[in-house]
């Protein structure tokens, strides 16, 4: 395969855009910190994926999906996590794709599975460090960095046609946040972590519905369960003991499971 042919692969395009997002974090974080967390995530995830690929299929191919997963992990794992924690999360992410399967398809988003299960074991929380700073403010640099964050939509939303899921989730999530707040004006949530989640993880093509009607229901389901959960009396207890290391990813996994038969 030539270089130009590879560039036409959606996963390769997503990888390049995730690398661009990772590079933009250098505006706010030290080079050593960024290189450490991203490079270890890529190294451990790709190694785990190739290992499991060979054990299950006895073949080795370029793991484009694993590279994309590793970059998502690199942008969301706690950057101060020791190397063995990064390795555990990477191992769980890759393992879930090869061993949690039904009808020759994996059930859960690998990055979400690694982050949720790994952080429960490690008694840590998901950081979102690499995207949480990209707020839209009225200055040229912040605006440019914010739009870099949105660029993966060109792949997940347009090329992979998951825009129905993204818009349904963002619309419902924004509405529910508005209803439980005192803000009299209704505006779409511009939280960069929520946007990154919707564009790169919720809309992952192998674990989300193909038909647009189901995409809408799927997006609405994940948004509603994520918001409603925090009104339940036991939610704070589970959060305090790190049984829920993140407010979005467990409900993505629930959505993956519920809609597995309706993709």
**Mean pLDDT rounded to a whole number for the chain:** 92
| Number of neighbouring beta carbons within 10 Å of residue 228 | 13
Residues 68 and 49: beta-carbon distance below 8 Å = no
Question: What pLDDT is attached to residue 200?
Answer: 97
Token pair recorded at residue 166: 């993204």
**Cα–Cα dist 67/110, whole Å:** 12
231: pLDDT strictly greater than 90 = no
Q: Which of 95, 134, 148, 99 is nearest to 118 (CA)?
A: 95
Beta-bridged to residue 59, according to DSSP, are none
Q: Each residue of 55-73: pLDDT tens digit?
A: 998 999 999 999 999 999 9
Residues 19-34: what's their mean pLDDT? 95
pLDDT tens-place string over residues 187-228: 678 899 999 999 999 999 999 999 999 999 999 999 999 999
CB atoms within 10 A of CB 98: 17
Residue-wise DSSP of 121-132? HHT-----TTTT
pTM confidence score: 0.94
pLDDT of residue 82: 96
Beta-carbon contacts of 255 under 8 Å, excluding residues fewer than 6 positions away, are 202, 218, 221, 222, 225
Strand runs (DSSP E) across the chain, as ranges?
101-102, 105-106
Burial class (CB in 10 A: 0-12, 13-18, 19+), 16: middle
Looking at per-residue pLDDT, the higher value among 248 and 184 belongs to 248
Cross-strand pairs, 106: 101
User: What DSSP state is assigned to residue 7?
Assistant: T
Query: How do residues 143-174 score in pLDDT, each as one tens digit?
Result: 899 999 999 999 999 999 999 999 999 999 99
130-139 contact pairs (CB < 8 A, 24+): 130/21, 130/22, 130/25, 130/34, 130/74, 130/75, 130/76, 131/21, 131/75, 131/76, 131/192, 131/193, 131/195, 131/196, 132/192, 132/193, 133/25, 133/28, 133/192, 134/24, 134/192, 135/190, 135/192, 136/190
Q: Where are the domains of the chain?
A: 3-262
Q: Kindly give, in sequence order, each residue whose CB lies less than 8 Å from that of residue 78, ignoring residues fewer than 6 positions away.
A: 85, 124, 125, 126, 127, 129
């Amino acid at each position: 395969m030539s270089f130009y042919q590879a560039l036409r692969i959606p996963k390769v395009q997503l990888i390049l855009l995730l690398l661009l997002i990772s590079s933009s974090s250098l505006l706010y974080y030290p080079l050593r910190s960024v290189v450490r967390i991203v490079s270890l995530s890529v190294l451990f995830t790709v190694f785990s994926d190739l290992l499991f690929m060979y054990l299950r299929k006895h073949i080795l191919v370029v793991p484009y999906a694993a590279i994309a997963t590793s970059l998502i992990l690199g942008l969301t794992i706690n950057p101060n996590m020791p190397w063995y924690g990064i390795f555990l999360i990477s191992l769980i992410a890759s393992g879930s794709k090869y061993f949690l399967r039904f009808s020759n398809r994996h059930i859960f988003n690998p990055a979400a599975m690694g982050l949720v299960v790994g952080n429960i074991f490690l008694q840590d929380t998901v950081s979102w460090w690499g995207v949480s700073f990209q707020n839209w403010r009225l200055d040229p640099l912040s605006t440019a960095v914010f739009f870099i964050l949105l660029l993966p939509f060109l792949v997940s939303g347009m090329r992979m046609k998951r825009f129905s899921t993204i818009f349904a989730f963002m619309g419902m999530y924004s509405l529910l946040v508005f209803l439980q707040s005192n803000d009299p004006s209704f505006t779409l949530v511009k939280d960069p972590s929520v946007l990154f989640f919707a564009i790169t993880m919720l809309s992952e093509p192998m674990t989300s519905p193909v038909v647009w009607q189901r995409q809408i229901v799927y997006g609405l389901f994940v948004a509603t369960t994520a918001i409603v959960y925090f009104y339940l009396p036991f939610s704070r207890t589970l959060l305090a003991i790190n049984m829920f290391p993140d407010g979005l990813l467990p409900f993505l996994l629930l959505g993956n499971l519920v809609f597995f038969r309706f993709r």
